[in-house]
Chains A and B, each alone.
Chain A
Amino acid sequence: MRILEDMDGTPVGRRVFLGLAAFGVSGIVWGSKAAGLMERLLGPITVKDGSGLLGLLPTGRFRIYSVVGSLPSRSTADWRLDVGGLVGAPYTIGYDELLAMPAVELTKDFQCVTGWRVPDVKWKGVPLAEVLDRARPQPGATALRLESFDGAYTESLTLDQARRSDVIVAYQLDGKPISSAHGGPVRLYVAPMYGYKSLKWLQRISLVDKVAPGYWEDQGYDVDAWIGHSNGRSDTPV
Chain B
Amino acid sequence: MQRFDRTERWLHWANATLVGVLVATGAVLYSGDLSSIFGRRALIEQIHVIAGLCLPIPFLLALPGRRGRALRRDLNVLNRFSADDVRWLRSRGRDHTVRLGKFNPGQKLNTAFVGAALVTMLATGLVLRFFGPFPLAWRTGATFIHDWTALALGLAIAGHIALAVGDPHALRGMLRGTVPESWARRKRPRWYEAEHRPDRPPEDGGVSGRKIRERAGS
The answer on A and B forming one complex is: yes
Q: Is the CB of B190 within 8 A of A31?
A: no
Q: Is A11 an interface residue (CB 8 A)?
A: yes
Contact with B along A10-45 (1 / 0, CB 8 A): 111110111111011101111111110010000000
**Contact assessment for A181 and B36 in the assembled complex, using a CB-CB cutoff below 8 Å:** yes
A13 touches B111 (CB 8 A): yes
- A3 and B140 contact, Cβ closer than 8 Å, known pairs A17-B116, A20-B116: no
Chain B, residues 127-163, CB within 8 Å of chain A (1/0): the string is 1100000111111111111011111000000000000
Q: Which residues of B contact A4 (CB under 8 A)?
A: 101, 190, 193-194, 197
**Interface presence of B60 (CB below 8 A):** no
A57 CA to B74 CA, complexed, in Å: 35
Known contacts A1-B73, A69-B40; A8 and B82 CB within 8 A of each other? yes
Contact of A58 among B77, B81, B151, B200 (CB under 8 A): B151
Q: A3-B194, A5-B82 known; A29 and B141 CB under 8 Å? A: yes
User: Number of B residues contacting the other chain (C-beta, 8 Å)?
Assistant: 67
CB-based contact A1/B77 at 8 Å: yes
Distance between Cα atoms of A116 and B42 in the complex (Å): 19
CB < 8 Å A-B pair total: 188
Assembly CA distance A29 to B147 (angstroms): 15
Q: Which residues of A contact B42 (CB under 8 A)?
A: 67
Interface residues of B in 1-58 (CB under 8 A from A): 29-33, 35-37, 39-42
Q: Residue A63 at the B interface, CB < 8 A? A: yes
- Which residue of chain A lies nearest to B151 when distances are taken between CB atoms in the complex? A58
- Whether A25 and B36, one on each chain, are in contact in the complex, defined by CB atoms closer than 8 angstroms, is no
**Is the pair B73, A24 in contact by a Cβ cutoff of 8 Å?**
no
A234 in contact with B137 given A9-B85, A63-B32 (CB within 8 Å): yes
- Measuring CB to CB, which residues of chain A are less than 8 angstroms from any residue of chain B? 1-14, 16-21, 23-25, 27-35, 38, 56-58, 61-71, 114-116, 180-181, 231-234
Given contacts A69-B40, A181-B32, 5 further A-B contacts (CB under 8 A): A9-B81, A12-B81, A13-B109, A34-B141, A64-B35
